[in-house]
Amino acid sequence: MIVITSNQTPQEQVNEIIAVIEKEGLQVHLSVGADHTVIGLVGGVTPKLAEHLRQMKGVENVVKITKSYKLASRDFHPEDTVIDIRGVKIGGENLVIMGGPCAVESPEQIDEIARLVKASGGQVLRGGAFKPRTGPYSFQGVGVEGLTMMAEAGKRHGLLTITEVMTPEYVDICAEHADILQVGTRNMQNFDLLRKLGTCGRPVLLKRGFSATYDELLNAAEYILAGGNRDVMLCERGIRTFETYTRNTLDLSAIPVLQNLSHLPVISDPSHGTGRRELVAPMAKASVAAGANGLIIEMHTDPDNSMTGDGVQSLFPEQFDSLLRDLEKLAPLVGRRFSPSLEAAPVV
């Protein structure tokens, strides 16, 4: 860490700062500049010391050099993390496709959609049993039964399943029924939920908060990793900007950036990322071209009657299928392997 003193800080001030640092048993390197003195610290700096220094008289700036997350960083774990779930590999050169409705509505609905996801070559069935809704009067999901409906559909059609968990007390039951647990954008910094997921025994897909920085996303992942769960996927799902034409602004730079900073798989969600059906296919292709390790896409057999109203961003089954055919051709050109047949999960 580096402490930069302000213009014309008296020597005694500088000495005080140095004293504070040395009191913590750290070494100091001084650079006396024309109008600034720069103090380099050698050794482990506690957040408390960092802040103490930042607040001392005469200090203009304190520059952290080391990242606040460790387990999530590429420095710590240079190789790509590849998560293997019953034969489906997520991460590295593999391209995983997760598809399904916004919400589980009925056994028939989820079963039919599962059949279609599988037929098109998807490996994971998505579907919400508990739905986070802006207002209390909107449809909140079918709840626990939804978990069983989806689990059965997944089993029947040889698909893994992913579902969102919103609160610590539901982690166990969700982990019982789903292969992957999803943290929604509004809960990226629900730290008690993250801690609980650190010990849930299931891979976790962590969605970026709609206004979270890359650093905050990686620190949120660190909560889960620090709990002992190393199977974490990061998900870009669109950020909030001034533009209102799209529901969110899908930030595809996040894909190469997160892959540079971290070893965790990066999944893109072009459905929530755009909020408009006509934009899902182009942004799905763009995500893969940017290097995404997978996609999570909303597909519905009857979007006009989806219970959440998110049907407006759901693909029709034929659109979903033709997109996957395009991705099959695109993937090899950008170093991604998408071979549905091989990677399909065995029916358990």
- Reference 274, options 297, 293, 256, 248; nearest CA is 248
Of 28 and 119, the one with the shorter C-beta distance to a copy of itself is 28
Q: How far is the CB of 223 from a copy of itself (least distance, A)?
A: 5
Strands 2-5, 204-207: pairing is unpaired
Q: How far is the CB of 22 from a copy of itself (least distance, A)?
A: 15
d(CA 153, CA 127): 11
Of 47 and 346, the one with the shorter C-beta distance to a copy of itself is 47
Strands 59-63, 232-236: pairing is unpaired
d(CA 252, CA 287): 6
Q: How far is the CB of 39 from a copy of itself (least distance, A)?
A: 8
Q: How far is the CB of 296 from a copy of itself (least distance, A)?
A: 17
Of 2 and 144, the one with the shorter C-beta distance to a copy of itself is 2
Of 155 and 276, the one with the shorter C-beta distance to a copy of itself is 276
d(CA 233, CA 189): 15
Q: How far is the CB of 151 from a copy of itself (least distance, A)?
A: 22
Of 119 and 312, the one with the shorter C-beta distance to a copy of itself is 312
At how many degrees (to 10) do helices 277-289 and 317-333 cross? 20
Of 225 and 344, the one with the shorter C-beta distance to a copy of itself is 225
Residue whose entry in the numeric block shows the structure tokens 């056994």: 107
For residue 258, the one-letter residue type is: L
For residue 251, the one-letter residue type is: D
Q: How far is the CB of 135 from a copy of itself (least distance, A)?
A: 4
Sheet of strand 27-32: strand arrangement:
27-32, 37-42, 2-5, 59-63
Q: How far is the CB of 346 from a copy of itself (least distance, A)?
A: 32
Of 154 and 271, the one with the shorter C-beta distance to a copy of itself is 271
- Reference 307, options 60, 185, 140; nearest CA is 140
What are 153's two structure tokens? 């559909």
What are 217's two structure tokens? 């996303």
- Reference 26, options 8, 1, 51; nearest CA is 1
